[in-house]
Chain A
Amino acid sequence: MRKVYIDSDFVCHADYAEGRTAVETSALDKVCDSALRFYIYVPNGSTHKKSNGITVKGEFVQCMNSKSADIAQREYERRLLADLQANSISISELESAYQEGVNSAYG
């Protein structure tokens, strides 16, 4: 379950701002913060008239621009992977340093 903020057009955002309402949903669990703006989320009990004239009833979740959402999501995942790799190198260095210390203590 994740907290997101929807504006008056039911567009999702990661941060609070005036006019945005906090909602909790598991439907957007795997969507990164920067891709949220490409999604609309209509909570249970709410209705939303879209620009094409169709009124949708909650719970309704739609990606309005999957190409842009995918680009944002992949960029986030690339950064995450790079961070993980960097952290993994740091851990490996720590392990080496620790092992050196152990070896010198018993050497």
Chain B
Amino acid sequence: MGNCFLHGNGGRNPLNFDVVQYASEADLPESAEGNTIAVFTNVDITGWHFSAKQPENMKQGAVWFKTVTASDIAFNAIKKDEIRLCIESVSQYIDGELIAQNAAIYQNGKWTNMEILVPYEYQRVEYLQSSGTQFIWTGVNTNDCYGLVLDVQSLTYAENKWFAGNWNTQSMAIGMAPSNNFQISVGGSDDVFVPFDMERHTMGFKGDKYIFDNMDLANVPNYANAKVNQNIPLFTRLTVGDQYFTAPSMRLFRAKMYDANENLIRDFVPCYRKFDSVAGLWDRVNKVFYTNSGSGTFMTGADV
């Protein structure tokens, strides 16, 4: 829910908001006051808290709007920037437990679902960091994959080490090529090469486009060549035949995968499971937590 904001400023748009209860999305009124938050629950809301840390002594029915502890959005009072409150998740205290709830916010004349990035049982982190021995299976086959976009940072240059993908007779892979380049390859006929650095980048492919930050790339993915009927891992590339993995040391901030109609089929968010502190990726689409299939332990970035 990291992109969900309450906002206002000290002048014309003070930070006013209201919290209301509806049984479901279907019950929402056509319009409402700006910054009205509708929580979908059948349990009466008895109060609410906005905090990064879980409030103590919550009462039955109280709603906790978990706010993020860090944000890249700058605030400058002199420039009269908007004050923004970024909400990470919504949960309600029911019968002694915090239960994740869906919610919507009315802003700019419409209701927007406040989709949860990770459920309450997980703690979102900036990134997962691998040392070169960890990887995660996505459960997506190369034959069904028409988009893989990574928000990624390599921590070292190493020729022929890959952030994700598969190689058989042809490749569907994103990683580091020879001669100090990033390489994005789908089918191997028109690959993208970009000079390597150790900064964070968005890279991959989606539909008929390759993606590397905001570059305008004319290269075209060749999906027909890349259909090798193999599962795609993240944090490494699987070379079929000898099960040879080529994993770098890297940070993954987010990963998204798409089908032939450009529907989102995986949306991986880095986090760790609170009860046992195991780090992994929460898939927002299928609501499944994916953990390490390699060896060692993922390092995590800071809690967010």
Contacts and interface: CB of A to CB of B under 8 A. Distances in A.
B128 to A, nearest CB: 11
Contact of A27 (B125, B198, B299): B299
Given A52-B53, A57-B277, A64 B123 contact: no
Interface string B43-60: 000000000111000000
B301 A66 contact: yes
Given A30-B131, A53-B53, A60 B302 contact: no
**6 closest A-B pairs (Cβ-Cβ)?**
A56-B277, A61-B299, A57-B277, A60-B277, A62-B300, A53-B53
A8 interface: no
Given A27-B131, A52-B69, A56-B277, A61 B53 contact: no
Interface residues of B, number: 28
A63 interface: yes
Given A52-B69, A52-B303, A54-B123, A63 B276 contact: no
Contacts of A52: 52-53, 69, 303
Nearest to B249: A30
B277 A29 contact: no
Contact of B299 (A53, A57, A58, A62): A62
Given A39-B299, A54-B274, 9 more contacts: A26-B296, A27-B131, A30-B155, A54-B123, A59-B297, A60-B272, A61-B298, A62-B302, A62-B303
Given A26-B296, A54-B123, A63 B277 contact: no
